[in-house]
Amino acid sequence: MKKLDVNLHKGDMLQGKWNGRTYTIIRELGSGACGTVYLCKDSQGEKYALKIGGDSSRVMLEVNMLKKFSKVQGVKLGPSFVDVDDWEVRGKGVYPFYVMEYVEGKSVREFMRGRTKDWIGICALQLLTDLDHLHRAGYVFGDLKTDNLLVEKARIRWIDVGGVTPIGRAIKEYTEFYDRGYWGRGSRKADAAYDLFAVTMIMMEMVYPKRFSKGTDPVKVLESKLHAAIPLKPYRSVILGIWKGRYSSAGEVTRDLKRVLMHPGRSGSSRRRGKRMASETSEVLAFSCFVMAFFGVSIFSFWM
Catalytic-labelled residue, pool 86, 130, 132, 143:
143
Q: What are phi and psi of 28, to 5 degrees?
A: -80, 140
Active site residue 12: no
State how far the Cα of 144 lies from the Cα of 202, in Å rounded to an integer: 9
One-letter-per-residue 3-state SS of 224-276:
HHHHHCHHHHHHHHHHHHHHCCCCCCHHHHHHHHHHHHHCCCCCCCCHHHHHH
State how far the Cα of 237 lies from the Cα of 38, in Å rounded to an integer: 40
Comparing CA positions, the residue from 140, 123, 143 lying closest to residue 131 is 140
Q: Name the DSSP letter for residue 171.
A: P
**C-alpha pair distances (Å), 255 with each of 193, 212, 245, 287, 295:** 15, 29, 16, 18, 10
Q: Would you name the residues annotated as active-site residues?
A: 143
